[in-house]
Amino acid sequence: MVDDHQIVRAGIRRILSEAKDINILAEAGSGEEAVQFIRNNEVDVVLMDIHMPGIGGLEATRKIVHYSPNIKVIVLTVSNDEIYPVRFLKSGAMGYLTKDCQAEELIQAIKQVKSGQRYLSAEIAQQLALKRFDNRDSPFDALSERELQVMLMITRGEKVPKIAEQLHLSTKTVNTYRYRIFNKLGVNSDVEMTHLALRYNVIENHLAQQDVSSSNV
């Protein structure tokens, strides 16, 4: 399992330790650690978080699938933002769950994915089904994984110093990402970016901060 929060890994380990026919070979706190381990060990299924320091979950998934096509990756994350499932599935992930899923569903997903079948939580499956009827090209498709990550944090009202701390980046680097995102999306402020994200269903209304216009970034 790959997650940068030790307490989350401990909870997942406890759940899976009670399941038959599932053995935890290793834990990793970053995508880099996971890729390095998988290059030297035989693994069937990888539980992958999205937001981590370093290369992050999406790039780690790409690398794992590239080096070891037989390994199945399941995304297990707190994020249910619409844009991520599509990106991960295109990168080779076989499953996508949010961390509020029941223990039984996680175990079922692992077994189903190991057998070669995809597994999506009901919420994610519904999102993808509805997306098929939306033919709009999204400007957010042009964002890199890190840019997308920074964008989502800003639209939720997080300040640049906090973002820098969480991503282990300098504030200067975060601001560079911010203005690069503005250029790609054709916006001039956090407010415009948030409205655009709402328009394209990248974020939900209840997640957008009402006072984003006063954000000190």
- Say how far apart CA 112 and CA 53 lie, in whole Å: 29
User: Residue 206 above 50 pLDDT?
Assistant: no
209 sits in the region (left: phi over 0; alpha: psi -120 to 50; else beta) called: beta
- Say how far apart CA 30 and CA 21 lie, in whole Å: 26
Residue whose C-alpha is closest to residue 202's, from 127, 133, 135: 127
Q: How much is the pLDDT for 37?
A: 93
- Say how far apart CA 150 and CA 159 lie, in whole Å: 10
- Annotate 133-158 with b (16+ C-beta within 10 A) or e (fewer): eeeeebbbeebebbbbbbbbbbbebb
pTM of the predicted structure, to 2 decimals: 0.73
Q: What is the mean pLDDT of residues 52-81?
A: 87
Map out the domains of the chain with their CATH numbers: 6-131 (3.40.50.2300), 139-214 (1.10.10.10)
Other C-beta atoms closer than 10 Å to the C-beta of 103 total 14
What DSSP assignment string belongs to 81-122?
Answer: -THHHHHHHHTT--EEEETTS-HHHHHHHHHHHHTT--EE-H
Q: How much is the pLDDT for 80?
A: 66
Share of the chain above pLDDT 90, in %: 47
Q: Please, what is the average pLDDT of the chain?
A: 85
